[in-house]
């Protein structure tokens, strides 16, 4: 009986432990910016994902239970999720009325952003993980993306597109690959952050990678 009570106390203690900034950020995304979010799978101390896939390629950075369709902007649901799962990563369901994203490996991304800064291009928020950076863009359709890519002679295979039905982890989440941070943080304020068109971002990133001769490996 003592063992059962002791285990219950430990579980309740773990439930109370967490990072209040996660709940605060999730509420900002959902209620102020109207970005649908949900909790992701939490990775363990060794970086292994809590999902059933032993070879998960995005440990702690994807939805599982609940699934992606549960993403919401409802404050009560967000509070309930992060009260019960206080260390869960924040996952954005991309597309619809929420931003989409274009991501690429971290080193080429850093070179591309430096080139775009020299060019004077205006960018929206940029999310950084230890391995990849993601540039947030306006929602786009698959048809729009297909036409954009078809018109190009070359598109680096390492570019990934997070559109409708996709997802991306948001700061200040901790995943199996490390911390998710803002490389370019949104401007402070209550309004939803401005993001550029996907065409402008893809054109600029492909041009920057080509001109600087930076290799973008297939990661």
Look up residue 45 and give its two tokens.
């101390």
Beta strands in 171-209 (DSSP E): 174-175, 178-179, 181-184
Structure tokens at 207: 């041009």
**Is the pLDDT score of 148 beyond 90?**
yes
pLDDT single digits (tens) 88-135: 999 999 999 899 999 999 999 998 999 889 889 999 999 999 999 999
Per-residue pLDDT of 43-87, as tens digits, reads: 888 888 888 888 888 888 888 889 999 999 999 999 999 999 999
Give the β-pairing of 166-170 and 37-39: unpaired
């Amino acid at each position: 009986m003592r063992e059962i009570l002791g285990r219950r106390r430990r579980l309740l203690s773990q439930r109370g432990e967490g990072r209040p900034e996660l709940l605060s950020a999730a509420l900002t995304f959902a209620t102020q910016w109207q970005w649908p979010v949900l909790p992701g799978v939490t990775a363990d101390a060794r970086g292994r994902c809590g999902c059933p896939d032993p070879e998960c390629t995005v440990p702690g950075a994807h939805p599982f239970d609940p699934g992606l369709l549960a993403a919401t902007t409802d404050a009560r649901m967000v509070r309930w999720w992060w009260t019960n799962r206080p260390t869960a990563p924040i996952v954005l369901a991309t597309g619809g009325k929420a931003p989409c994203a274009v991501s690429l490996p971290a080193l080429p991304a850093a070179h591309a952003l430096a080139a775009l800064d020299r060019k004077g291009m205006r960018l929206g928020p940029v999310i950084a993980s230890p391995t990849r950076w993601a540039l947030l863009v306006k929602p786009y359709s698959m048809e729009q993306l297909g036409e954009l890519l078809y018109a190009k002679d070359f598109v680096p295979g390492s570019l990934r597109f997070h559109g409708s039905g996709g997802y991306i982890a948001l700061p200040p989440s901790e995943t199996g690959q490390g911390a998710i941070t803002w490389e370019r943080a949104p401007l402070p304020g209550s309004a939803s952050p401005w993001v550029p068109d996907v065409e402008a971002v893809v054109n600029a990133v492909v041009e920057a990678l080509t001109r600087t001769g930076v290799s973008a490996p297939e990661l």
